[in-house]
């Protein structure tokens, strides 16, 4: 039976929990909780993996443990081993061009300078669906971008993410059950002013 992969981007280790760059991990953890499945580390693929059934389809949730810049390193082998088609893959990651609490579903877009997305594209190609979760622009222009994406959310931002969590999950579940076109129509129009 074929399965679709949902890949969340982030950095491994407790030090990076609740940082902006780890929104992909965060949303996959939320999904795993609602579906009552548990991630297990697969050292051969340098990833945490769990599987679930949803809308009569099979899915594999993947959190790469290679650090952001090498997120795609073992992905091709992992997808092949589990009979997952690259074009059915959903990539969940943080997006600096969107305000905190907003999201956008896209397909076949550029990497936007995101090193994790670059790594995925260079290893399995760009013909996949992306759920991009906003982390907001850095407020201090002098701050290094790498420092910003590795910074933790403020208390207000964390509350906002918590308020939007169900909306994010509904968008992801819509991608899983209805496909990209319907999900885009339903959820991208929620915020017509986002780019």
Active-site residue set: 21
Q: How far is CA 108 from the centre of its chain?
A: 15
Q: Is 27 exposed, middle or buried (0-12, 13-18, 19+ CB in 10 A)?
A: buried
Using CA atoms, how far residue 190 sits from 1, 104, 179, in Å, is 35, 9, 17
Taking Cα atoms as reference points, which of 139, 46, 41, 135 lies closest to residue 92? 135
- 50 and 34 in contact (C-beta within 8 Å)? no
Give the β-pairing of 40-42 and 47-54: antiparallel
Taking Cα atoms as reference points, which of 22, 54, 10 lies closest to residue 174? 54
- 63 and 90 in contact (C-beta within 8 Å)? no
- 124 and 72 in contact (C-beta within 8 Å)? yes
- 65 and 47 in contact (C-beta within 8 Å)? yes
């Amino acid at each position: 039976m074929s399965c679709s992969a949902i890949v969340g981007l982030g950095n491994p280790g407790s030090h990076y929990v609740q940082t902006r760059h780890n929104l992909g991990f965060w949303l996959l953890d939320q999904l795993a909780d609602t579906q009552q499945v548990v991630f297990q580390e697969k050292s051969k693929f340098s990833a945490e993996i769990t599987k679930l059934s949803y809308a009569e389809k099979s899915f594999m949730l993947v959190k790469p443990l290679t650090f952001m810049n090498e997120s795609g390193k073992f992905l091709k082998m992992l997808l092949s081993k589990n009979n997952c088609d690259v074009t059915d893959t959903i990539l969940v990651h943080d997006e600096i061009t969107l305000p905190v609490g907003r999201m956008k579903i896209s397909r076949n877009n550029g990497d936007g300078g995101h090193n994790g997305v670059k790594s995925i594209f260079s290893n399995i190609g760009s013909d996949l669906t992306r759920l991009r979760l906003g982390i907001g622009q850095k407020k201090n222009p002098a701050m290094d971008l790498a420092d910003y994406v590795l910074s933790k959310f403020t208390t207000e931002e964390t509350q906002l993410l918590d308020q939007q969590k169900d909306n994010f999950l509904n968008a992801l579940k819509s991608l899983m059950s209805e496909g990209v076109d319907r999900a885009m129509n339903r959820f991208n129009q929620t915020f017509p002013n986002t780019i």
